[in-house]
């Protein structure tokens, strides 16, 4: 009898716990992009990663409780040059045979200085190197749709993206800007 009373008391206690509302889940829509811009021989070169997966849980009323995880398929790079894309995939840069993905994981978001401005705070992992990053972005809503645009500058050599002759920053600059242009619905 005591065991039944204990079980009932435990169930009542669990039911009485306050529930925490989860942040809304957002689904990335076609036409969204994760891209980059770098200088190659002093000229800007841009490209996109055509395949990426995003798990976004964002609540503009509670950005600190929001999270995002974006997994980028590095082999899907498209810089409008098959030779350059082959080099990007090679062991000299990303080494997709060993490290096929890059992962951006935002563990929290902060509100920015003005309406619609936010900062995704978390980590970026490439070539098995993880660095803390903060990506500022602009976010606008229209009903159940959202549009986010942002940019983050990184140093590619901090992630080991550049081996052998590719450590020479006169060929490809160390600074690379990662860009997002995301359309999503909840």
Write down all domains in the chain, each with its CATH number in brackets. 22-185 (2.40.128.110)
- Please enumerate in sequence order all residues whose Cβ is within 8 A of that of 31, keeping only pairs 6 or more positions apart, or say none: 183
CB atoms within 10 A of CB 176: 19
Mean pLDDT of 16-31: 75
Q: Do residues 70 and 32 touch, judged by C-beta distance below 8 A?
A: no
Residue that wins the pLDDT comparison between 160 and 10:
160
The per-residue pLDDT for 22 is 79
pLDDT tens by residue, 62-82:
999 999 999 999 999 999 999
Lowest mean pLDDT among 13-17, 85-89, 132-136: 13-17
Distance CA 35, CA 173 (A): 16
Which residue blocks in the chain are alpha helix, DSSP H? 2-16, 82-89
Distance CA 3, CA 63 (A): 43
Distance CA 170, CA 40 (A): 8
Tokens 């990662």 correspond to: 178
pTM, two decimal places: 0.86
Distance CA 148, CA 181 (A): 6
Handedness of CA 79, 82, 84, 86 (dihedral sign): positive
Q: Identify how many contiguous H helices and E strands the chain contains and give both numbers.
A: 2, 11
């Amino acid at each position: 009898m005591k065991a039944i009373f204990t079980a009932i008391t435990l169930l009542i206690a669990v039911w009485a716990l306050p529930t925490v509302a989860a942040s809304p889940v957002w689904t990335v829509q076609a036409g969204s992009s994760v891209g980059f811009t770098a200088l190659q021989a002093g000229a800007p070169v841009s490209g996109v990663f055509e395949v990426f997966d995003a798990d976004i849980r964002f609540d503009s009323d509670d950005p600190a409780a929001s999270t995002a995880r974006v997994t980028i398929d590095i082999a899907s790079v498209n810089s409008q040059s098959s030779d350059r894309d082959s080099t990007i995939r090679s062991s000299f840069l990303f080494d997709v045979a060993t490290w096929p993905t890059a992962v951006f994981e935002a563990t929290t978001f902060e509100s920015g200085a003005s309406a619609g401005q936010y900062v995704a705070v978390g980590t970026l992992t490439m070539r098995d190197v993880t660095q803390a990053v903060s990506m500022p972005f602009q976010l606008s809503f229209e009903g159940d749709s959202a549009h986010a645009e942002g940019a983050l500058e990184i140093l590619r050599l901090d992630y080991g993206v550049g081996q052998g002759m590719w450590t020479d920053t006169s060929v490809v600059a160390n600074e690379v800007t990662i860009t997002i242009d995301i359309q999503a619905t909840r």
